[in-house]
Structure 1
Amino acid sequence: MSLVVTGATGQLGRLVVSSLLAKGVPADQIVALGRDEERLAALAALGVTTRRVDYADAAGLADALAGADRVLLISGSEVGRRLVQHQNVVDAAKAAGVGLLAYTSIANADTSGLALAAEHRATEEAIVASGLRHAFLRNSWYTDLYTGQVPTYVEHGAVLGAAGDGRVSAATRADLAEAAAAVLLLEEPRAVYELGGAAFTLAELAAAVGEATGTEVAYSDLPAEELTTVLVGAGLPEQYAAVLADADLGLGRGELYVDPADLQVLLGRPATTLAEALSATIGA
């Protein structure tokens, strides 16, 4: 069986490749696609086949997916350009006659009002229209996006957001990567998985950070426009800052909440908790 992981040089993709290997998949059955030559070389050192290709390169994708049995399409990072790029992968997968196309989407993609959800929803529709057997991996937010900000939270004694009392079913990249690898190996995968861990509010996040670090950290809820301004002031591009603020509004509406059962079943264990992720981050 030939398993192709697109976007394999990104953080999630590399973890998926590692998880497939850990699950006993022979390295010569894994094909890793990506743009970064240095990271591809690191994957090649693991024994997997690597091919340099860009989502915008339709001809290159057709060649790269030839002979593939199952493909994991990891969503692109270029917001606003992803649908065209994803369509290239879908077309190449259809031409190759792949047996399964799995796609990393977003939680509640079919109903979500998040700005980020629009391209995911359109990609899901394109995959359905292709007639390919598919599995949508609707990932909630990454816990890593929060744990990576622990030094900032501690420095300022605050977690800033615009989510109110909304709950986010965040999960670590490693857990979501392991789940994606599991789906690629299932004999009869489902068409849709809503994937997330045990949910928490941003106020609970602040309390957990405070407890883990022994400092006082509080949650400060801001209007989305003010949060955007603060994020821009911290050095984020305005468009990205606005997307993050919009995501917080969606979080507040419950659009990043999912039942943790799907992820737990795929992992064969409970997902990594916020406290465990914070402990690992601080320990590192």
Structure 2
Amino acid sequence: MKGITMIVVTGATGQLGRLVVEELLTRVPAEQIVAAVRSPEKAADLAERGVQVREADYDRPETLEPAFQGADKILLISGSEVGRRIPQHQAVIDAAKNAGVSLLAYTSVLHADTSALPVAPEHQATEEAIKASGLTYSLLRNGWYNENYVPTAQQGVANGVIIGSARDGRVAAASRADYAAAAAVVLTSDGHADTVYELSGDTAFTMDDLAADVTAVTGTPVAYQDLPADAHTKALTDAGLPEPVVEMLVSIDAGTADGQLADTSGDLSRLTGRPTTPVRETLAAALGN
């Protein structure tokens, strides 16, 4: 395998991971791609296409070094279990260092080092751990996904209203496919050593804009109703959402109101060489119109 770059994608059967693998398949031969996954049987379709499938469980560090054997570049896709990410990610970092990889890329969050979003501390801690490891890195600080707003849109169509407490704050979201394409570029091209990319949509929208987009793609009138944070909390609680979820959603709206997700740096479209996907396009595809 000398001279052939081996690229490992962790979490490769997740929503983002699969899209990264698909992008890589358009750029490099399948045998150069390793899908590192907790449940290899879920990646059987990738194996059939020639992708190497290896077991890699963040909670079982002994699986990680074998999964990374021969790797040149690794994409660490952040874990989904809030509160457990720091030890999980540290295990990946340690295994990547032992594997002697030339680049560790990590899917972080927009402005992780300064963000007040509730998801930011674990990302910031992971970034610090990566830098402390001495590995060459690329920090892919992903903004919000368009797809995050599909359930919101569906509820809006059902109820005629989208509720929140984001005021007139803006979100520069992009599609998962956009972020996956950027990751694939970083993994398959040069010039990304010790880089930090603030990845976000080309344009930012308000929740009023979102409601207008839902109306446009469905033909159902939908309005945005802005609430004080305590009223938003009560509405979500009354709807039966668990307390941690309620706290997270209200905190994210507070961050949105403060401009935490509004940055339009242009890094994402520069990496991919194409405009980012408008949220209206994602909504239209998801809502069947």
Distance in 2 between the 1:16 and 1:227 partners? 35
Classify the secondary structure of the residue corresponding to 2:212: helix
1:3 to 7, 25, 28: 7
| Structure 2 residue aligned with 1:111 | 114
1:34 to 32, 37, 40: 37
Q: Structure 1 unaligned segments of length 5 or more: list them.
A: none
Distance in 1 between the 2:228 and 2:48 partners? 48
1:255 to 260, 268, 282: 260
Q: 1:139 to 1:92 in 2, by over 3 A?
A: same
| Structure 2 residue aligned with 1:22 | 26
Distance in 2 between the 1:47 and 1:125 partners? 35
* 1:85 has 2:69 as partner: no
Alignment of 1:102-181 (within 5 A): 102-181=105-184
Alignment of 1:212-251 (within 5 A): 212-251=217-256
Q: Does structure 1 conserve the Cα–Cα contact (< 8 Å) formed by 2:40 and 2:54?
A: no
Classify the secondary structure of the residue corresponding to 1:283: coil
Distance in 2 between the 1:102 and 1:108 partners? 16
Distance in 1 between the 2:182 and 2:79 partners? 19
Q: 1:134 to 1:37 in 2, by over 3 A?
A: same
Give TM-score, length-normalised by structure 1: 0.95
Matched residue type, 2:163: L
For the aligned residues, what is the CA RMSD? Answer: 1.5
Matched residue type, 2:149: Y
Give me the identity figure in percent: 54
Q: How far 1:275 sits from its partner (Å)? A: 2.0
More deviation, 77-86/158-167: 158-167
Q: Deviations over 1:100-144 (max 9, x none)?
A: 000000011010011110000000000010111111111111100
Distance in 2 between the 1:49 and 1:34 partners? 11
Distance in 2 between the 1:54 and 1:4 partners? 14
Distance in 2 between the 1:14 and 1:57 partners? 22
1:275 to 277, 280, 285: 280
Distance in 1 between the 2:90 and 2:166 partners? 33
Q: Does structure 2 conserve the Cα–Cα contact (< 8 Å) formed by 1:6 and 1:33?
A: yes
